[in-house]
Amino acid sequence: MSSIPPSSSLDPAIAARLKRSADGLLPAIAQQYDTGEVLMLGWMDDEALHRTLTTGRCTYWSRSRQEYWVKGDTSGHVQHVKSVALDCDADTVLVKVDQVGAACHTGDRTCFDADVLLEDAESDVLSTGQ
């Protein structure tokens, strides 16, 4: 169980809609606004979402460090927020951003570059008939 601060400045109407995990968090998917490229997954509580909505910079909750972090404050790889949306179940946030530099802590452009499990399966099936 995390020790996330209970208070937040998030609009109560938004907070009432959210379906959080047992530890009070929502997965937040960061996507490049103009290309659709999926960059990373982070975690937000109500306060991180409030800060993201009001500052124009992505703020996440670090589960390992038990603290807030603003993407790019130490790396320079800033995420400028273009839009924020909830999914149909209100249990995931999609943040469309303009990513400066690498999104992944490994230095890759996205967190999904290095370990591709399946690629273009449909065209492989069409070309082999299987």
Binding residues: 87-89, 91, 104, 111
Other C-beta atoms closer than 10 Å to the C-beta of 48 total 26
Residue 96 near residue 34 (C-beta atoms within 8 A): no
Whose structure tokens read 């999914």? 87
Give the residue ranges of the annotated binding site for Mg(2+). Answer: 87, 89, 91
Give the residue ranges of the annotated binding site for Zn(2+). Answer: 88, 104, 111
Report the alpha-carbon distance of residue 94 to residue 84 in Å, rounded: 6
Report the alpha-carbon distance of residue 114 to residue 110 in Å, rounded: 9
Residue 84 near residue 93 (C-beta atoms within 8 A): yes
Residue 73 near residue 67 (C-beta atoms within 8 A): no
